Amino acid sequence: MPIVSHSTYTCSPVLFNGHLQTILPVLIRRVRKVEYERERINTPDNDFLDLDWRRKGSRRLAVLSHGLEGDSKQPYVVGMVHALTNRGWDALAWNARGCSGEPNRVLRFTHSGATEDLHTVVCHVMAAYNYSELALIGFSLGGNITLKYLGERKPDPRIKAAVAFSVPCDLECSSVRLAKPENRIYMLRFLTTLRKKIRALARSMPGKIDDRGYNQLRNFKDFDDRYTAPIHGFKNAEDYWRKSSCKPFLKGISVPTLLINARNDPFLAEGCYPSKEAAENPYLHLETPTYGGHVGFVCFNKDREYWSETRAAHFLKKELPAT
């Protein structure tokens, strides 16, 4: 039953493939600006995380986790903030390490398995604010963190539901897919922006990290072998992918969770569509629309709300009816 057999998403004929559906929202979407309130919190390892709030005075809070090289200002994050706050929720978009505009204090950065940072955010919210219900929403890398977090530990009972979009549930097969020639445009973009993070860390921590020979890196395996794995305590890229993929943790999810991965997502391979795991877990709802691209799901309407935002709000309303 948790496998959604029919998705309501339909795509404009103008956006005829997954690449257009992925790239066009980045280039053309204009979302009304959100006036965030920023809060900085400390982490257990003496670092910091920047949280961006949009409050409506609700007892319900949605915690949003962005994708790789994203931040709280990405159109897909801001669009979701608008969709949920318009429906009475408070929203918190947290910025992963190195993504809020300045380098962090310790030698590390965001990675797909960094559930400890999401846990720090959730624990802070629970201790400092009077929310009765929380929903977790994640995109791409942030979706992987969200699902892994829910599956690897017993969540706080106030976490009532979750929604994740375009999730590389199997990091290895997703990395292999992104290394293919047809996806070179995405790989080049990621490697370029990641290099800026490496250089920023090198300036603040001379002698601990550098970008010498960076031009030789061609894909995520090269990057993860050189940086992600050794910095964060993994043996190599394969060890990092294996331990950080959310797919083995899906069986442990115990709150209503909607996972939406488009079938034409250029970032995802077959291992990222966990139909077996969804069939065996009554809490995990898997929806695989034919179209949508990667964090795309473009929808043209007078409200300028994308289908992903409407769908997330509908799922939360269904699972958490107003009291």
What amino acid positions are annotated as catalytic residues? Answer: 140, 265, 294
Question: Long-range contacts of range 81-87, CB-CB < 8 Å, 24 or more positions apart?
Answer: 81/34, 81/54, 82/31, 82/32, 82/34, 82/305, 82/309, 83/305, 83/309, 83/310, 83/312, 83/313, 84/309, 84/312, 84/313, 84/316, 85/54, 85/56, 87/313, 87/317
Residue 57: burial class (beta carbons within 10 Å; 0-12, 13-18, 19+): exposed
Secondary structure of 122-134 in the HEC alphabet? HHHHHHHCCCCEE
Q: Which residues pair with 91 in a beta bridge?
A: 54, 62
Give the tokens for residue 218: 């061609």
